[in-house]
Amino acid sequence: MRSIVALAVLQVLMQSALPVSAQNYAVPGVPSSGGFGQTSIGQPASTSTGGDVLSGRVKHDIMPAEKLLSQGKYADAEGMFREAIVANPADIQATIGLGIALAKQFKLDGADELFDRVLATDPNNALAYSGKATVVLNRLQSSSGTIRGNKESFLQQAEESAKRAVQLAPASGEAHFTLGQVYKEQGRVAEAASEFRTAVSLDPQHSQAFAALGQIKLDQGSLAEAQDAFKRAIALNSSNSTAHYGLGATLLQQGQTDAALNELNTSLSLFPNSWPTRMMLGKAYAAQGNTAGALKEFQLSTLIKPENAEPYLRMADIREERGDLELGLADLRSGLTQAPYNLDLRMRIADMTLKLEKADDAIKAYKTILQMSPNNPQAVKGLSQALYQKAQKAAVGAMLASNDYDSAMKTLDEAIRLSPDDMELYLAKAKLMSLSGAKPDLSTMGEPKNDGERIAYAEAAMATGDFQKASEQMKIVINDLKDAKQTYAVADIALMIKDLDNAETAFKKGLNLSGTPERGNRGLAQIDQLRKQAVTDTKVADELCNKKQFDGSVNKYRSAIASNPRLPEARIGLARALEKSKKPTSATLAEAAQQYDYYLALRTDMPAKEREKMVKDVAKLKDKAAKEKEKGK
């Protein structure tokens, strides 16, 4: 698949004379406002007193090249400016024009050299300083680790050049526009917006400044203002790829997917190698349900700008929606090789690994996140869940004695200290505490107030053996859902914690809400398989237990419970096997007692006398476990 996508990108690159697009400071593609704004190269742009640049006179042979520049035909403009320079090597106007054409094509070394040549002759040429700032900004769009690592230094250089341009030509819209671009890249949004507004007030024909203002409004969620700004930019210059991109992104947020696709494809036709446009096209196709088209665009985006994390996350969404978790994990890991410090990628990898029930890998992933982001609540909760998942398939005593368990409890305590109002953290701790035989009183934590807390409460309640309360909380969440995608997401969570009854309900509801049939049916098939596997494992475990092969039977009972925690036969079978095992330790006996308790909680139809007898036997077993513990066994 990747080789096909790579070939497609190669074809795109061969068809285009333009390089990789700008990243953040303008959005996608090469700014196409017409050279440096709509200001003619021949118009005054400097306070210098020498040279044709200051004469206000536009040479006849420069005008066609400037027109090409304003139309975004940078390669054609480059050729004409070169011809002018051949005819007159001292022509400053043509030199600046050539520098602009090269800068727009990301031929940055050549552009920088030309601007330096102009400044050597005319030290106060504002356009040359503005050009140098643009060159530096474009350098920052490189995927080079060296350049990315020195971003602040580069931005300082760009700011100095842009401010010098504004100082020399305070009435130049282009100079203010360039300074605004620098401020935007530095995250100084308010100052950037001010410079862009100044640019359009000085030069009402400055298409790219309107597009930049539109992007700020889009980022702020002011869609109507953004749409107006992008439309004005396009009216001034229909070849402004940035404005078409921005309008497409705005329309997509407004739910006008078809109109958005038209604008995005127009932007792409003007600048085929724009990673943000590819990214936004992927979102638009995904909104239409065209997952194949979305995957293609996301992949193309990663090939153009590999260190951008978002398309990898989007591809993982689609893979997960299809049930291809391993493929989604592969996409995320590809992204991590390019952006190793991105916490979103790492968190998604950890969460997906947990869903695949690779508990050890998930534990390692969450611990790495906590090293990078200490006390990260989501990672703390994920770690506790991974440890509990591991305990379902391993000896609980060994888990309690492990460094992972002790470390997780300390991490939870610290996270709770920092976020004392986070109910989910308390519930995560309660879930882990249940492994030691303790049964925390969840009622002391109050009632959950939102779906996230309800799901966490349900997990903790299941871990402590309160299966009825767990089911009630999950039912509340599922009953409130009105969207198929959200319903499937909750179904996935229920499936992950092996609440099979509620998972089945959620998947069926998702189907009734016109959710993707493949996903709903796949989920139901997984539930059926888990139930059958649990029954099969329990039967095998019973046979091993009858043959007094207790170690083997314990493993099989654990496997059955991991598949279906609410299977009573597996719970009581595990309890008996642990109790009868050779030389049981205090931890083994305690776990056996705990499994009897779980059995009692699940067997709500048990005759009263039979229940009473088992309760007494369990109490005796707990006393025995306590005495063995006192002996150090």
Tens of pLDDT, residue by residue over 233-257, are 999 989 899 999 999 999 999 999 9
3-state secondary structure of 603: coil
Interior angle at CA 187, CA 183 and CA 193, nearest 5: 50
**pLDDT higher than 90, residue 602:** yes
In a domain, residue 122? The reply is yes
- Measuring CA to CA, how many Å separate 215 from each of 134, 192, 220, 249, 547? 18, 11, 9, 9, 72
Looking at residue 506, its amino acid is A
pLDDT band at 48 (very low <50, low <70, confident <90, very high): very low
In whole angstroms, what is the distance from residue 628 CA to residue 246 CA?
Answer: 71
**pLDDT higher than 50, residue 33:** no
Residue 479: the pLDDT is 94
Among 257, 319, 265, CA closest to 284: 257
Examine the fold and report which residue of 352, 382, 402 is the final residue of a domain before the chain moves on: 352
Q: Are residues 241 and 361 in the same domain?
A: no
In whole angstroms, what is the distance from residue 111 CA to residue 246 CA?
Answer: 27
Q: Which residue has the higher pLDDT, 612 or 432?
A: 612
For residues 349-362, give the mean pLDDT: 93
For residues 577-585, give the mean pLDDT: 89
Q: Are residues 358 and 348 in the same domain?
A: no
In whole angstroms, what is the distance from residue 553 CA to residue 410 CA?
Answer: 34
Q: Are residues 329 and 181 in the same domain?
A: no
3-state secondary structure of 632: coil
**CB neighbours of residue 214 within 10 Å:** 30
Name 445's Cβ contacts closer than 8 Å, sequence gap at least 6. 423, 426, 427, 430, 457
Q: Are residues 116 and 180 in the same domain?
A: yes
In a domain, residue 544? The reply is no
CA 586 centroid distance within chain: 46
For residues 119-139, give the mean pLDDT: 91
Residue 393: the pLDDT is 67
For residues 477-497, give the mean pLDDT: 91
CATH code for position 475: 1.25.40
In a domain, residue 588? The reply is yes
For residues 575-583, give the mean pLDDT: 91
Q: Are residues 11 and 28 in the same domain?
A: no
Q: Which two tokens stand for residue 232?
A: 């004005």
Among 345, 315, 322, CA closest to 523: 322
Residue 174: the pLDDT is 87
Residue 24: the pLDDT is 36
For residues 129-136, give the mean pLDDT: 91
Contact, 342 vs 336, CB < 8 A? yes
Can you give the residue range of the structural domain that contains 284?
A: 1-16+272-352
Percent of the chain with pLDDT over 70: 87
**pLDDT higher than 70, residue 51:** no
Q: Are residues 261 and 112 in the same domain?
A: yes
**pLDDT higher than 80, residue 62:** no
Q: Are residues 99 and 185 in the same domain?
A: yes
Q: Are residues 347 and 250 in the same domain?
A: no
Alpha-carbon radius of gyration of the chain: 32
Please tell me the total count of domains within the chain: 4
**pLDDT higher than 60, residue 399:** no
Residue 170: the pLDDT is 93
Tens of pLDDT, residue by residue over 160-213, are 999 999 999 999 888 999 999 999 999 999 999 999 999 999 999 899 999 999
Q: Are residues 495 and 434 in the same domain?
A: yes
- Measuring CA to CA, how many Å separate 298 from each of 13, 251, 305? 17, 19, 10
Name 302's Cβ contacts closer than 8 Å, sequence gap at least 6. 275, 308, 311, 312, 334, 335, 338
In a domain, residue 445? The reply is yes
In whole angstroms, what is the distance from residue 471 CA to residue 500 CA?
Answer: 10
Q: Are residues 2 and 50 in the same domain?
A: no
Residue 446: the pLDDT is 85
Residue 180: the pLDDT is 94
Average pLDDT for the chain: 85
For residues 304-333, give the mean pLDDT: 93
- Measuring CA to CA, how many Å separate 93 from each of 52, 53, 73, 85, 179? 7, 6, 18, 9, 22
In a domain, residue 107? The reply is yes
Residue 541: the pLDDT is 96
Looking at residue 454, its amino acid is R
For residues 220-227, give the mean pLDDT: 96
Tens of pLDDT, residue by residue over 536-553, are 999 999 999 999 999 899
Q: Which residue has the higher pLDDT, 405 or 284?
A: 284
Q: Are residues 325 and 468 in the same domain?
A: no
CATH code for position 219: 1.25.40.10
Contact, 196 vs 215, CB < 8 A? no
**CB neighbours of residue 447 within 10 Å:** 11
* Strand (E) or helix (H) holding 159: helix 151-168
Q: Ramachandran region of residue 564, left (φ > 0), alpha (ψ -120 to 50) or beta?
A: beta
Contact, 473 vs 458, CB < 8 A? yes
In a domain, residue 85? The reply is yes
In a domain, residue 543? The reply is no
Residue 584: the pLDDT is 87
Residue 30: the pLDDT is 37
In whole angstroms, what is the distance from residue 134 CA to residue 367 CA?
Answer: 42
Instruction: Please tell me which of 137-141, 258-262, 562-566 the model is most confident about, judged by mean pLDDT.
Output: 258-262
**pLDDT higher than 50, residue 229:** yes
In a domain, residue 567? The reply is yes
Contact, 271 vs 18, CB < 8 A? yes
Contact, 424 vs 376, CB < 8 A? no
Residue burial 375-397, b: 16+ Cβ < 10 Å; e: rest: bbbebbbbbbbbbbbbbbeebbb
pLDDT band at 67 (very low <50, low <70, confident <90, very high): confident
**pLDDT higher than 50, residue 31:** no
Interior angle at CA 454, CA 452 and CA 455, nearest 5: 70
Q: DSSP per residue over 7-21, as a string?
A: HHHHHHHHH-S--SP
- Note the pTM of the prediction, 2 decimals: 0.74
For residues 373-383, give the mean pLDDT: 91
Alpha helices in 484-607 (DSSP H): 484-496, 500-512, 517-546, 550-563, 568-580, 586-602
DSSP letter, residue 434: G
In whole angstroms, what is the distance from residue 499 CA to residue 491 CA?
Answer: 9
Examine the fold and report which residue of 321, 352, 383 is the final residue of a domain before the chain moves on: 352
| Burial class of 87 by CB neighbour count within 10 A (0 to 12, 13 to 18, 19+) | exposed
Residue 47: the pLDDT is 38
Q: Are residues 343 and 380 in the same domain?
A: no
pLDDT band at 501 (very low <50, low <70, confident <90, very high): very high
